[in-house]
Amino acid sequence: MNWFVGTATYIVIWWITIFAVLPWGVRPANEADQGHDAGAPANPRLLMKAGITTVVAAVIWVFIYWAVNSGLISLSS
């Protein structure tokens, strides 16, 4: 796996993981202020979720990197 394929793989894994992590712990705001969506979360904690996503995506990427380099998965056609 060269650096370009490895980076592209990590980016795809990261985006898939962020969409899985975003709903964790979301609570709607108690009162909807004028001009705010009633379904908007009270405290989205985006930095924490980005950190969790980065760690989980790195673990998944290391497993895929190992599988490709050991010959378990082939990326050539």
**Would residue 51 count as lying in a domain?**
yes
Is 38 within the bounds of a domain? no
Residue 39 lies in a domain: no
Would residue 57 count as lying in a domain?
yes
Gap between the terminal Cα atoms of the chain: 14
Question: 19-69 pLDDT, tens per residue?
Answer: 999 999 888 777 766 767 777 788 889 999 999 999 999 999 999 999 999
What is the tally of structural domains in the chain?
1
How much is the pLDDT for 77?
Answer: 64
| Total-model pTM | 0.82
Q: Which comes out higher in pLDDT, residue 74 or 3? A: 3
Q: How far apart are CA 64 and CA 70, in angstroms?
A: 10
Residue 18: inside a domain: yes
Q: Which domain holds residue 6?
A: 1-23+46-77
